[in-house]
Structure 1
Amino acid sequence: MQSKQELVALALSAGTLPGLPQGHFIDGASSTAASGRSMESFDPGRAAPFAVFARGDAGDVEAAVGSARRAFEQTWRDTPAAARGRILQRAAELIREETARLAVVESLDSGKPLAEAEGDVRGAARAFEYYAGACDKLQGDTFPLGPDYLGYSLHEPVGVAAQIIPWNFPISTAARGIAPALAAGCAVVAKPAEQTPFTALLLAELLKRAGLPDGVLNVVTGTGAEAGAPLVAHPGIDHVTFTGSVATGIGVMKAAADNVTRVVLELGGKSPVIVLADCDRKAALDGVMGAIFENAGQICSAGSRLIVERSLHDGFVEDLCRRAEALRLGHALREPQMGPVNSDTQLGRIAGFIDRARARGVDVATGGAETADPESGQGWFYRPTIVDDCAPDDELVREEIFGPVLTVQIAEDAQHALALANDSQYALVAGVYTADFAKAHRLAARLDAGQVYINEYFAGGIEVPFGGNKKSGFGREKGLEGLLSYCRTKSIAARI
């Protein structure tokens, strides 16, 4: 097994890694696209292709769903819970053993710094470990119907679950959906984003090595229009978990409605970070920086709105600007503090937001320009950007940018901060920094968000349910609540 250093050196010198899967993963084996077509995946740090993979369509989806249905009905749903747990636990161990390779592939494919990719791989392993332990704890209830009756409920696997995986967190999002689905006894057909297909394919190979029966997990690669749309509209799909944009999520929901297919939607965000004057200033600065500049701001739950109390505003924003300007940018495998954005399309979208803001006379305090890897002059990079004192109705406050752009709003006090925070079409997460614990929890109770972080942004882990309200979607992933997403409850009442 090659070390991380060897893999990084190879990837930087060759521009790729050998042995990457090029086909779909269907019925336990690699499979070429039915059409024979393929497409390229790009290294965002070089703005150049580094590998090819299968370009799937409805024919490949049909094969994958059929394989999943057979595996579910003939094998997996009747596999004892403890046996399912052992397979998932072995998968967690294999993911940890393969951390270096998975992380390097993730960095090449997504552009995120290697340290962040390694964290994502560790999180994926933890997800399989967590749900491995939950397999044989999934139990129903009994109902007190009196001495002449027996009443009880069962949690049954819903069937074949589709997973539509985004490009910003490919392996960790795949794991947080696939692991609970398998734990519940479902079979899965996964469709990773066309920008980042490889770690989902590698994950499927690892699960086969862990003992997962053929067909229980299938991966179809290709575009959203050609592979994703036929998957979510397929009548053989019993559940869809989708992570992505609001517009695409609405389309997924409409397509699923034709077959009355249940859905979990994790959509966009414009998450506020409330920083009050009595906060731990250093912790708040650290938290705000990580909330917006990790993964170059390409996170649904990024803290993209700073709502800061007026008495703290001037010095706090000045310090943020200095920190942002000092961030070291570069290719993901050179251990930068911030990497590129994922695609030329995304780079253009981010630049468009800032160009329009400048035309409106908005104060771009720092950043606000495209750039490149300082070592190679290549890649899709955007400078860390802070836009100060934004009006509540400004486009930068209202719309998700999905890039390294922080918009600043000024609050007069905690209640004003709460009103600003809730004035959004999104409600995914929120952050609060204050030394007043009672105030923090009063705010948490009133914030419209699926999850609230207090004094540490991105606090929590796989144990904590995650999902949004409003246009951020509905349903929950992670935690035991995420496991129940893949179950249907059957109630039984008998006269005895």
Structure 2
Amino acid sequence: MTVQDLAANYLSTGRIDGLPDGHFIGGRFTSASDRKMESFDPARAEAFAEFSLGTEADMDTAIEAAEKAAKDWARALPSERCRILNNVARVFHENADRLAVLEVLDSGKTLAEAQGDVQSSARLFEYYAGAADKLDGRSVNLGPDLTAFTVREPVGVTGHIIPWNYPTSTFARGVAPALAAGCSVVAKPAETTPFTALVMAELLSEAGVPDGLVNVVTGLGSDVGAKLARDPRIKQLTFTGSVTTGVNVAQTAAPNVTRLTLELGGKSPLVAFEDADPEKVADGAYWAIFSNSGQICSAGSRLILHKSLRDEVLAILTERASNLKVGHGLKNPDMGAINSDLHLGRIKAHVDAAKARGANILTGGDVTTDPDTGKGWFFQPTIIADLRANDPAVQDEIFGPVLSVQNFETEDEAVELANGTEFGLMASVYTRDTGRAMRVAHALDSGQVSVNDYWAGGLELPFGGNKKSGYGREKGWEGLDAYTKVKAITISNAS
């Protein structure tokens, strides 16, 4: 069935066929547990399926399967890993329509956004397939009497705690480099987005990934997630989520000295100087905050405007935001739903508090629904202007379609405002002055900086944060570092 057929069938019946039942362990779906949890379509605020609530025993079985599979995979020829990962990318492309529809129903995002996520997921496997046979060490010159070199070895069993905002691409950006490096995988998807990880694991098996190499256990973070974090057999743990949960994960894993990659929160600034094109700034800010309904760690949730640009940029941006159409993601509206009722309440609480402080809300500011059905978890595109540096709307990660606007006069003031939160994940600079762009880019305490295009970059570049946005890097060549350990070998040549 085409993506249009799949979407039309679901919208008319409220059902989707062929959903996984149980966990994916050892190359197959296990028997479904009696413990179940409903999975909700955020755009309808209605359950469309059930999935298994895993236990610690389920997670133990998955880790055991991964530990067994890791030994053979670590010895596999790099060229064989390369071949299989390229085959994974092909199988993902062949199943792109099914994955995209599942991504919409799991997360609430638009179909176009989900299709982009699936394509980037396939591309991640292509990229790391090309790295699998190029994980070389280096020769070190210690003089004629010694031969010294380094090798990169797989760390072993890796754990992956997947967030709900990008369940498909975040799964791929951890699993692909882990497999390329020779590691095995145990993944735990978020409770609100269980299905794409299960289907992707099945497709990996179909593409030739050996049994037990990739395992997925669904359930609660307090149960199976905590077990994954504290198990000493996990040699690398990759977590994406909130700062609070990330700290808990780190504390849980600490007694085993488990290697960690933490990609946590963000409150990323788009800084626009007086020479920037107002239309381009407004367009960049629009996509930076309203993509995926603002539910992006690296969303451009702060717009820091030179005072001379303020009125023109905000007039353009407010008009676009007020005309933005929300709706069911399968109908491809401008903006999709908020992932859960719980998170919708959190966004509303942040904005209500700003209203109570007398904030200047230019547009939006409240909960809404799908205009076609009157259902769903949606929040209006919201712009809050002229905020002080210490305002909670500037300092706190709202993680929704809420843009906080600040104003500045000098370059130093702009940098101070941009660096003025506890986060440091993403930043963008808009200016025609190349020298200024370079000065500010170097001055910003952020894991990545773009110039004149907020989402410029790609999966070939490392991604990760500074400060409370986390540590470690995913994507790019640097994404392999978490899954390899370096060994130095020295041979005496003396007779």
TM-score by structure 2 length? 0.99
1:315 is matched with 312
Q: Per-residue displacement from partner, 1:194-253 (whole Å, max 9, x unpaired)?
A: 100111111111110110000000000011111111111111100100000000000110
CA-CA distance at 1:367 after TM superposition: 0.3
Percent of aligned positions that are identical: 54
Q: Of the candidates 479, 482, 491, which is equivalent to residue 479 of structure 2?
A: 482
Q: Any idea what SS the aligned residue of 2:256 has?
A: coil
2:142 is matched with 145
Alpha carbons 1:275, 1:433 under 8 Å: kept: yes
1:236 is matched with 233
Within 5 Å, which residues of 2 pair with 1:52-451? 52-73=50-71, 75-451=72-448
CA-CA distance at 1:373 after TM superposition: 0.1
CA-CA distance at 1:428 after TM superposition: 0.4
Q: Distance in 2 between matches of 1:390 and 1:373?
A: 30
CA-CA distance at 1:283 after TM superposition: 2.0
Q: Distance in 2 between matches of 1:189 and 1:219?
A: 6
Whichever residue aligns with residue 12 of structure 1, its letter is L
1:31 is matched with 30
Whichever residue aligns with residue 428 of structure 1, its letter is L
CA-CA distance at 1:457 after TM superposition: 1.1
Please give the root-mean-square deviation of Cα atoms over the aligned residues, in Å: 0.8
CA-CA distance at 1:364 after TM superposition: 1.0
Q: Distance in 2 between matches of 1:418 and 1:110?
A: 35
CA-CA distance at 1:32 after TM superposition: 3.1
1:40 is matched with 38
Q: Per-residue displacement from partner, 1:320-352 (whole Å, max 9, x unpaired)?
A: 110000101100001100011000001100000
Q: Distance in 1 between matches of 2:314 and 2:349?
A: 23
1:4 is matched with 3
Q: Distance in 2 between matches of 1:453 and 1:134?
A: 25
Q: Distance in 1 between matches of 2:481 and 2:124?
A: 15
Q: Distance in 2 between matches of 1:461 and 1:98?
A: 23
CA-CA distance at 1:55 after TM superposition: 0.5
Whichever residue aligns with residue 346 of structure 1, its letter is H
CA-CA distance at 1:148 after TM superposition: 1.3
Aligned pair count reads: 493
Moved over 4 A (4+): none
Q: Distance in 2 between matches of 1:417 and 1:337?
A: 31
Alpha carbons 2:278, 2:312 under 8 Å: kept: no
Runs of 5+ unmatched residues, structure 2: none
CA-CA distance at 1:459 after TM superposition: 1.2
Alpha carbons 2:279, 2:313 under 8 Å: kept: no
Q: Distance in 2 between matches of 1:267 and 1:451?
A: 14
Alpha carbons 1:32, 1:54 under 8 Å: kept: no
Q: Per-residue displacement from partner, 1:279-332 (whole Å, max 9, x unpaired)?
A: 122222111100000000000000000000000101211211100001011000
Q: Any idea what SS the aligned residue of 2:308 has?
A: helix
Whichever residue aligns with residue 59 of structure 1, its letter is A
1:18 is matched with 17
Runs of 5+ unmatched residues, structure 1: none
CA-CA distance at 1:185 after TM superposition: 0.2
Whichever residue aligns with residue 50 of structure 2, its letter is V
Q: Distance in 2 between matches of 1:128 and 1:283?
A: 33
Q: Per-residue displacement from partner, 1:138-171 (whole Å, max 9, x unpaired)?
A: 0001110111111011100011000000000000
TM-score by structure 1 length? 0.98
CA-CA distance at 1:416 after TM superposition: 1.1
Whichever residue aligns with residue 20 of structure 1, its letter is L
Q: Per-residue displacement from partner, 1:254-275 (whole Å, max 9, x unpaired)?
A: 1111111010000000000001
Whichever residue aligns with residue 5 of structure 1, its letter is Q
1:464 is matched with 461
CA-CA distance at 1:394 after TM superposition: 0.6
Q: Per-residue displacement from partner, 1:76-130 (whole Å, max 9, x unpaired)?
A: 1011111001111000011111111100110011000000000000000000000
Alpha carbons 1:92, 1:129 under 8 Å: kept: yes
